[in-house]
A and B are shown apart, each in its own frame.
Chain A
């Protein structure tokens, strides 16, 4: 058990809808990262927050947004969903700001299916 909790485990929704994925980091970790894994793309970095502030952005679509709350949990919001957004969404956390010499610890993901 990595200590990172993601809810829900599975989500099925229709095109055009909006969903929110939730992540609770490991105790003591200040950074939260979001990754997307689809069959043909592998693991893609989306966005990182450190202590409530956005720190780095990757291949995140404009329809997607995230935030980190004062209690350090994070939410990833996906809107105007398309079939191609079906994927596994992973959250990870680390102690520091950069994660340079500290590993990321991943949750077990949310499987999103858009029909």
Chain B
């Protein structure tokens, strides 16, 4: 599996943008980048995914660098409810989702 590296923890002030980085330097051309989050012990929640282009939905934006070796998940206006563990996953064709330790984001009031 293409390995991802994320910082173990980050803080963000409520109302500010949260920018969560992910390195995936061994990614191949046809592998997707997915982001999930897990709030407390709930089931992981799908946020967004992309291949090459930047993507945006109602939850977040995904910025993928031109060389595809890294990406950033942006939560534009973080709220306390965004406190969670965020997982960046590179989806390899024919293999299943592999979850690493993720980044624990704390949104502070």
Interface residues of A (CB under 8 A from B): 2, 4, 33, 35, 42-43, 45, 48, 56, 58, 88, 90, 92, 98-101, 103-109, 111
Contact = CB atoms under 8 A, between A and B. Distances in A.
Interface stretch (B16-24, B44-52, B65-73): B44-52
Nearest to B92: A100
B91 interface: yes
Interface residues of B, number: 19
A98 B94 contact: yes
Contacts of A48: 96
Contacts of B94: 98, 100
Say what secondary structure dominates the interface of chain B. loop
Contact of A99 (B41, B42, B97, B100): B97
Contact of A2 (B43, B49, B101): B43
B99 A42 contact: yes
Interface in B38-65: 41-46, 49, 51
A4 to B, nearest CB: 7
A58 B96 contact: yes
A100 B99 contact: no
A43 B44 CA distance: 10
Interface in B90-109: 91, 93-94, 96-101
A4 B45 CA distance: 11
Nearest to A55: B96
A88 B97 contact: no
Contact of A105 (B46, B93, B96, B100): B46
Contacts of A98: 93-94
A96 to B, nearest CB: 12
B41 A56 contact: no
Nearest to A104: B97
Contact of A45 (B41, B49, B96): B96
A9 B51 CA distance: 35
B100 A42 contact: yes
Contact of B99 (A43, A88, A101, A105): A43
